[in-house]
């Protein structure tokens, strides 16, 4: 699937790497937070976070419960707009633009930045209609069936469901439902996929399939994943951002550096299970 809108206008700042030992070729930036602060009423959930998230990589957001990982993720495609008491200050740049600019259409933004949630949430519709849902909303005038097939293949589900496209998505197993949700997210041809603990409601076999899939997805998309599972972050991500209490981004680097030789004692303590 090729992106219909070029992302050439995205910011081209090189992503810093922590050390020469772990240095990778400079990546283009897909999403950049600049001085981001987020509040729920008087409570601050994200504290002055700036970070650049590279294109076509898996970036994991980890940290103890309540440190703001989901809040940060939801800022990227403005899902926090749905929460009345939530206030966002600072910029989230995507495609060379602050997504909070007045002329950005959040619905169009969410087509380019899709989302997959913790609990699989297929619609009570057929498998085909689940995947075609976003296409219909966007007035897609191409071959819907071909795009449905391509998306199901992209989500590693096609072989399992190709003979039952008219069955309800709710009849699938939990792991299949989550892959259906991934197919639904990729059908509108996004650039970025946000995943909020996408495997935590699944059994280990189903979770492992999703992990393999995430690796494949990164060839085509930028994947940003919140996970509580540090082994998972170490296994599947290229970059890891560690948030700690108060919504502060404490360390952000190549995943190997974070897990093998973090700069911050607090990060080492968290990763080795001393707290959190
Ligand atoms: N809708 C909301 N209304 C009010 N406060 C909220 C809301 N959502 C989150 N918060 C608060 O913001 C802070 C950060 O929450 P968030 O869910 O982003 O953290 P998290 O790191 O994703 O946590 P977890 O790992 O438990 O999912 C917490 O103090 C939380 O109570």
Residues 224-264 pLDDT 10s: 999 999 999 999 999 999 999 899 999 999 999 999 999 99
Q: Which atom of ligand 1 is nearest to the CA of 247?
A: 14
Q: Which atom of ligand 1 is nearest to the CA of 41?
A: 4
Q: Is the distance from CB of 52 to CB of 29 less than 8 angstroms? A: yes
Question: What would the DSSP string read from start to end of the chain?
Answer: ---SS--TTS--PPPP-S-GGG------EEEEEEEEEEEETTEEEEEEEEEEEETTSEEEEE-STTSSHHHHHHHHTTGGGGSTTEEEEEEEEETTEETTSTT--HHHHHHHEEEE-SS----SSBHHHHHHHHHHHTT--S-HHHHHHHHHHHTT-HHHHTT-TTSBGGGS-HHHHHHHHHHHHHTT--SEEEEESTTTTS-HHHHHHHHHHHHHHTTTSEEEEE-S-HHHHHHH-SEEEEEETTTEEEEEEEHHHHHHS-S-HHHHHHHTTS--
6-19 pLDDT, tens per residue? 333 323 333 333 34
97-128 pLDDT, tens per residue? 999 999 999 999 999 999 999 999 999 999 99
171-205 pLDDT, tens per residue? 999 999 999 999 999 999 999 999 999 999 999 99
Specify the pairing of strand 113-116 against strand 29-40. Answer: unpaired
CA 67 / ligand 1 centre spacing (Å)? 7
Task: Identify the residue whose C-alpha is closest to ligand 1 atom 12.
Answer: 45
- Ligand 1 site: residues with CB under 6 angstroms? 40, 45, 63, 65-71, 83, 85
Task: Identify the residue whose C-alpha is closest to ligand 1 atom 24.
Answer: 65
Q: Is the distance from CB of 94 to CB of 30 less than 8 angstroms? A: yes
pTM for this prediction: 0.90
Q: Which atom of ligand 1 is nearest to the CA of 67?
A: 21
Does the domain formed by 20-271 have CATH 3.40.50.300?
yes
Q: Which of 218, 271, 270, 259 is nearest to 235 (CA)?
A: 259
Q: Which atom of ligand 1 is nearest to the CA of 226?
A: 22
What does pLDDT average to over the chain?
A: 90
Give the pLDDT band of residue 24 (cuts 50, 70, 90).
very low
CA 136 / ligand 1 centre spacing (Å)? 33
Q: Which atom of ligand 1 is nearest to the CA of 74?
A: 18
CA 92 / ligand 1 centre spacing (Å)? 19
Task: Identify the residue whose C-alpha is closest to ligand 1 atom 30.
Answer: 66
Complex ipTM > 0.85:
yes
pLDDT of residue 5: 40
Specify the pairing of strand 97-98 against strand 86-94. Answer: antiparallel
More confident residue, 44 or 139: 44
* For ligand 1, mutation pick of 42, 70, 249 (most atoms within 8 Å of CB): 70
Task: Identify the residue whose C-alpha is closest to ligand 1 atom 29.
Answer: 66
Integer Cα distance of 91 and 267 in angstroms? 26
Q: Which atom of ligand 1 is nearest to the CA of 85?
A: 3
CA 115 / ligand 1 centre spacing (Å)? 17
pLDDT beyond 90 at 276: no
Task: Identify the residue whose C-alpha is closest to ligand 1 atom 16.
Answer: 68
């Amino acid at each position: 699937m090729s992106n219909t809108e070029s992302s050439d206008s995205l910011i081209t700042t090189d992503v810093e790497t922590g050390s020469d030992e772990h240095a990778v070729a400079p990546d283009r930036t897909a999403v950049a937070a600049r001085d981001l602060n987020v509040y729920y009423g008087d409570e601050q959930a994200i504290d002055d976070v700036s970070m650049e998230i590279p294109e076509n990589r898996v970036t994991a957001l980890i940290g103890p419960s309540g440190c703001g990982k989901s809040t940060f993720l939801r800022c990227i495609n403005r899902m926090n707009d749905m929460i009345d008491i939530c206030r966002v200050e600072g910029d989230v740049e995507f495609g060379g633009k602050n997504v909070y600019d007045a002329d950005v259409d959040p619905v169009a933004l969410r087509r380019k930045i899709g989302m997959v949630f913790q609990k699989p949430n297929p619609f009570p519709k057929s498998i085909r209609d689940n995947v075609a849902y976003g296409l219909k909303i966007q007035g897609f005038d191409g071959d819907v069936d071909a795009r449905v097939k391509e998306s199901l293949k992209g989500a590693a589900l096609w072989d399992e469901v190709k003979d039952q496209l008219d069955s309800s998505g709710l009849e699938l197993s939990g792991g299949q439902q989550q892959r259906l949700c991934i197919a639904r997210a990729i059908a509108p041809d996004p650039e970025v996929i946000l995943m909020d603990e996408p495997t935590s409601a699944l059994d280990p076999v189903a979770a492992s399939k999703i992990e393999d899939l995430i690796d494949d997805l990164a060839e085509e998309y930028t994947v940003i994943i919140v996970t509580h599972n540090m082994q998972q972050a170490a296994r599947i991500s290229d970059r890891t951002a560690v948030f700690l209490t108060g919504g502060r981004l404490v360390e952000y680097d190549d995943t190997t550096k974070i897990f093998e030789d973090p700069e911050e004692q607090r990060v080492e303590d968290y990763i080795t299970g001393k707290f959190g």
